[in-house]
Each structure stands twice: as C-alpha cells, then as structure tokens.
Amino acid sequence: MRYTLRMKVIVYTLRNQGRKLAESAWRNNPTKPGTMSLSSTTYGERRVELLTFYETQPNQVVAGKNGLAMALYEPRLITLGSGRMRFAGFESVGTGQEARGVVQEWITEVVP
C-alpha cells in the first residue's frame, strides 16, 4: 500500500538536535510557506511513513533533494486544531557514521 497527501503549510520545529526549544525560540523562527507531504511505502514486509516539507516558490514546488527542507520519520499526530496540527517523530541528524535519529516535533499551520 502506498499513499501520498500534500498540503501547503508553515512549519515550526520545536526541537534542535532532539532538545526542546523555548517557546519564544521556535515561535519566532517559522519556515517559509511550503508543501508538506505525508507518504507511506512498503519495503519488503515493513511499511515506512515519512512526513516531508519542501520549500516552495510562488506557485511552484521545488522538486527533488534541493527542495527538501526537512523530514520527519514515523510521524504521529499529537493534536489537531483549527488549521493547525502538531506532529512528533524522528529526524535524522549528522552524516555517514555520525548519523543518528533524534526526537523532533513540528507544529504546522495550513496556509491558503
């Protein structure tokens, strides 16, 4: 089973390297409007879910790795409000042998 859902949002990241940020720090540092995409795909017997955020330019989604701003693995919807959603999951930090997964939380606001 594979599915994809896309919507235009602004994202607030609530953690840095897995550590919680003060509300004033994350609230004053939102992303530019972009496209959030939820997808699921199966690798062998395992289903993998991924929430991605791509930066956009006016009326244009930047495709490919260059447009990918961030990704949240195994996302879970924590709260749902009027035009706002909070997700928790894992992000990958570091590269090569230094790569590791840390907890991350996003608050997303839907934009027209």
pLDDT of 68-101, one tens digit each?
788 898 999 999 999 999 999 999 888 888 888 8
Class level of CATH domain 3-110: mainly beta
Compute the average pLDDT of residues 13-37. 92
pTM for this model (two decimals): 0.81
- The residue whose two tokens read 């879970």 is 76
Q: How far apart are CA 112 and CA 102, in angstroms?
A: 31
Q: How far apart are CA 2 and CA 9, in angstroms?
A: 22
